[in-house]
Amino acid sequence: MPNSAIKGKDSEKVWGNARSAADKQYPGLSSKDPDKYYAIVMTIYKKMCTKHSCTPKSESLESVLERLEMLEGVSGAVLKSPKGARGWVLYDDNPKAAKEAAKDLSNGLARAASDIAKWMKKNPAKPADFDKTVGKILGQAWGKHMSPRFEKYRGLGADDTETRYVGAQALIDMIKSFYGVKGYTSLGDWI
């Protein structure tokens, strides 16, 4: 592997260093789960590119950490974020604006998921009053990270029920998978 977008001696050297780092941190992953291994190597590579001249261009550390956390999952809880403007059910009259809005909504969703995941790690057992206890945490994360973004992208349909639903359902599914909850919950009522 390197990725076909990685060109030049400097880039290939950094790619090799990223593979070495991934092999140390995740021994045997390249054969167990090649897709996950590749994603981890690419994430490390992009981080290393902040200090080297290589392609593709670097991204912020915050973005790298969010992608790694979502990739690795949180103790069995995996966030399945909507993909692109269509996944977020945004109006696509202005494709560039819709694409940027979808990216920002996904970043907000990742931040909300991170807040919720931190709480779940501290509370790994399913709470007695699950819907109320976890619902409050969900509502706080939603209000902090998602509500302002939905308001910001109102003109692209982000305040529509469908757009809110896909974001809310991604967080609810992550929570339910972490606690092994099946069927109906009232978690959505806390958003």
Instruction: Give the end of a domain, one of 59, 75, 96.
Output: 59
At 141, the amino acid letter reads A
**In which band, very low, low, confident or very high, does the pLDDT at 37 lie, cut at 50, 70 and 90?**
confident
Do residues 98 and 182 share a domain? Answer: yes
Do residues 101 and 154 share a domain? Answer: yes
Q: Is residue 25 in a domain?
A: yes
What is the per-residue pLDDT for 121? 87
Q: Is residue 76 in a domain?
A: no
Give mean pLDDT, residues 62-68. 52
Q: Is residue 137 in a domain?
A: yes
What is the per-residue pLDDT for 167? 92
Residues 67 and 121: their CA atoms lie apart, in Å, by 18
Q: Is residue 78 in a domain?
A: no
Q: Is residue 70 in a domain?
A: no
Do residues 17 and 104 share a domain? Answer: no
Do residues 37 and 130 share a domain? Answer: no
Torsion angle in degrees (nearest 10) through CA of 169, 173, 179, 185: 40
Q: Is residue 180 in a domain?
A: yes
Residue 139: give the domain boundaries: 84-190
Tokens at 50, concatenated:
């902040």
On the question of pLDDT at 61 being above 90, the answer is no
Of residues 72 and 94, more confidently modeled: 94
Do residues 14 and 47 share a domain? Answer: yes
What is the per-residue pLDDT for 18? 84
Do residues 20 and 95 share a domain? Answer: no
Do residues 26 and 104 share a domain? Answer: no
Q: Is residue 43 in a domain?
A: yes
Do residues 36 and 99 share a domain? Answer: no
Of residues 14 and 74, more confidently modeled: 14
In percent, the amount of the chain with pLDDT more than 70 equals 81
Q: Could you give the angle at the alpha carbon of 83 between the alpha carbons of 177 and 176, nearest 5°?
A: 10
Do residues 28 and 93 share a domain? Answer: no
Do residues 96 and 185 share a domain? Answer: yes
On the question of pLDDT at 5 being above 80, the answer is no
Of residues 10 and 75, more confidently modeled: 10
What is the per-residue pLDDT for 64? 52
Q: Is residue 74 in a domain?
A: no
Do residues 38 and 103 share a domain? Answer: no
What is the per-residue pLDDT for 112? 93
Cβ count within 10 A of residue 101: 24
Do residues 104 and 178 share a domain? Answer: yes
Residues 41 and 129: their CA atoms lie apart, in Å, by 41
How many structural domains compose the chain? 2
